[in-house]
Structure 1
Amino acid sequence: MAVPASGRSPSVPPALYGPVAGDLPLVEAKLASLAAEGAPWLREMLVPVLAGAGKRMRPAVALLAGRFGRYEPERLVPLAASVELLHTATLVHDDVIDASPERRGRPTAAALFQNGPSVMLGDYMFAHAADFVAETGNIRAIRAFAKTLRVMATGELEQDLSAFEYSEDVQRYFDRIAGKTASLFATAAEGGAIVAGADEPAIGAMRRYGQRLGMAFQIVDDVLDFTGDAEAMGKPVASDLRSGTLTLPAILYLQREPEDNPVRRAFDGVRPRANFERAIAAIREGGMLAESMEVARRFASEALDAIERAPRHAADPETRETLAGLVSEVLDRES
């Protein structure tokens, strides 16, 4: 399958999630059960956090991958909910670390409830995510979940500990985003196939699909950090760079201008405000965003290739088309 330079794939079904769209409300209900069963103060904290959801792409990937085996919602919905809850818990912690007042135009948990309670809320959500995946009764899926949590934490730690270092290279960046972002997409896809009892070639193809989709997702996210609307994103433009994190566009810029440059000067504390603005302008005007998008498209192409390589008997055409449509959705997103 070819990756379009822009525009959604014409093969995408009218509903973004196609054959699993009807089961996503079951995932929502599973997530909502957390707030329903808790004490009033816990409900007050959970409701705004769960309401600030994105497109639920990760649980949709888990459900779609489940169609490569025996599609049983009663087993796949807990897995899908665990993936989304794990993702949401990491966002709660991220917002504490980054001191973010808003996410997607809504106040963050940290802004509403302060840092200490927000950290504990994230921990509570991690614990429930583990409980959800345990409901699948599948030890392989449970182990994949545990490994993913460890890998994600390692990726985030590496990012935080390397802040304001300008020695980052592309491979190290790939390794970092493979841990902090792509690993959860990979586990969503692999886990869905595992829980559904898919055969090994299908499980492997789904893991590769999810991993490559996640890599493309993060690279696009890092491009949007320079081009997106600050109000829509709920954070300043180039917030990663300003906080000392080098993403692909900045790394490509440093490779082209390795000596004295505004990124180095800003990281060294030399007129940081002015030098960050100069760096952002140089990255925008120097072709690094387009080059980064080309890298994202390469990963997207590999995700599409993984769908092609999955055994033909394992899933219906609509499922495959929907998975391919999500690749276009990732490339085309604006926030």
Structure 2
Amino acid sequence: MDIEQLLAQRARLVDGEMPNLLMDIKPPELAAAVSYAILSKGKRIRPALVTLASEAVGGTAEKACFAAASIELIHSSSLVLDDVIDKSEKRRGRSTVHTLWGTDMALLTVQILAALSLRIAARDPRLIHAIADSLFYMGEGEAMELVEFAKDKKGYLDLAFRKTGSLFSSAAEVGALVGGGDKTQIKKLKEFGNHIGLAFQIRDDILDCISKEDDLGKPVKKDLFMGRPSIVLLDAINSGISIERMMKCNNGELMHLVSESIENAKNVAIEEIDIAKCQIESFDDSYAKTKLNEMGDYIITRSK
């Protein structure tokens, strides 16, 4: 089974946890917005990470499904909020929640999704701290982007941890917790999640420069036009290429102009995956360990 087949398989497991969550949400307009956000499926990489982390320490994917659903709901809430802040009209090729129901209802959808996540996580109170941490750090990450916090690689990685790495870290942590991992295993899987999360964000930055909107399912060159920190753009700026010059480029021209910065970003992503793999090197060989390593490779080669 390749990694995309695995993601699809684990997505079906996690999706089974979702329908009951949508009962009794009032008013119907809010229920519809929440349902739309949940059903706007991505690849479900984070919940798959939860299940694999559980298996890597001797647990099962099935018993980790509730924890995986909790993580996916946090991710869904963050996407709705991102789209409001960025004023994005498309996400995964579909209209965003705020374009269909308005900004006020979208913000309430964010709140409900986070609440549903905590309700599920409360089945095992040990998970609450990890979920709360990711919510806290992701809020910091959104604010850091707004105030142009990152000016160099160090600042960028700090931001990328909060924006993306923290939820990957929490995903691996809750998987290890429900799987019965010991303290050392939980710590190592948290670090594994953090570093593949950083690599995921770096790949997103690269795709923002090299993709077409129809392929990505959302606007491209968003980082450039919104003045958002991107490891590619920061490297290009620090090498002497001005924002103004980049903004005049179409996508093909931009790829050529910042090609060296794209290569540098790819190398940083590879470094992050190598660090991640080192975290679980001492784990017993297993199907889950193999797939965790394959997930790292997939993250830095994906096309969307």
Same fold (TM over 0.5): yes
Aligned residues: CA RMSD: 2.2
> 1:17–1:307: structure 2 CA closer, same or farther, 3 Å change rule?
farther
**Which of these residues, 68, 78, 87, is aligned with residue 75 of structure 2?**
87
Question: Residues 259-305 of structure 1: CA distance to partner in whole angstroms, max 9, x if unpaired?
Answer: xx531xx4xxxxxxx76124974563341111111111110111222
Residue 201 of structure 1: how far off its partner (Å): 2.2
1:5 aligned partner? none
Does the 8 Å CA contact 2:93/2:214 hold for their aligned counterparts?
yes
Identity over aligned residues, as a percent?
29
Task: Tell me which moved more, 65-74 or 321-330.
Answer: 65-74
**Which of these residues, 163, 184, 189, is aligned with residue 167 of structure 2?**
184
**Which of these residues, 101, 109, 118, is aligned with residue 106 of structure 2?**
118
1:289 aligned partner? 262
CA distance in 2 between partners of 1:202 and 1:44 (Å): 40
Indicate the SS of the match to 1:30.
coil
Matches within 5 A, 1:210-225: 210-225=193-208
Code of the residue aligned with 1:25 in structure 2: it is: R
Indicate the SS of the match to 1:220.
helix
Residue 15 of structure 1: how far off its partner (Å): 5.5
Structure 1 residue runs without a partner (length 5+): 1-12, 267-273
Question: Residues 240-268 of structure 1: CA distance to partner in whole angstroms, max 9, x if unpaired?
Answer: 110011311111111211xxx531xx4xx
CA distance in 1 between partners of 2:214 and 2:97 (Å): 18
TM-score normalised according to structure 1 size? 0.83
1:208 aligned partner? 191
Matches within 5 A, 1:1-335: 13-14=1-2, 16=4, 18=6, 24-39=11-26, 40-72=28-60, 75-138=63-126, 141-162=127-148, 168-257=151-240, 261-263=241-243, 266=244, 276-278=247-249, 281=253, 284-286=256-258, 287-310=260-283, 312=284, 316-335=285-304
Give aligned pairs, total. Answer: 301
Residue 41 of structure 1: how far off its partner (Å): 2.9
Residue 236 of structure 1: how far off its partner (Å): 3.1
CA distance in 1 between partners of 2:174 and 2:65 (Å): 11
Structure 2 residue runs without a partner (length 5+): none
Indicate the SS of the match to 2:180.
coil
Does the 8 Å CA contact 1:16/1:325 hold for their aligned counterparts?
no
Taking CA–CA contacts closer than 8 Å with sequence separation of 6 or more, which of the two structures ends up with the larger relative contact order? 1
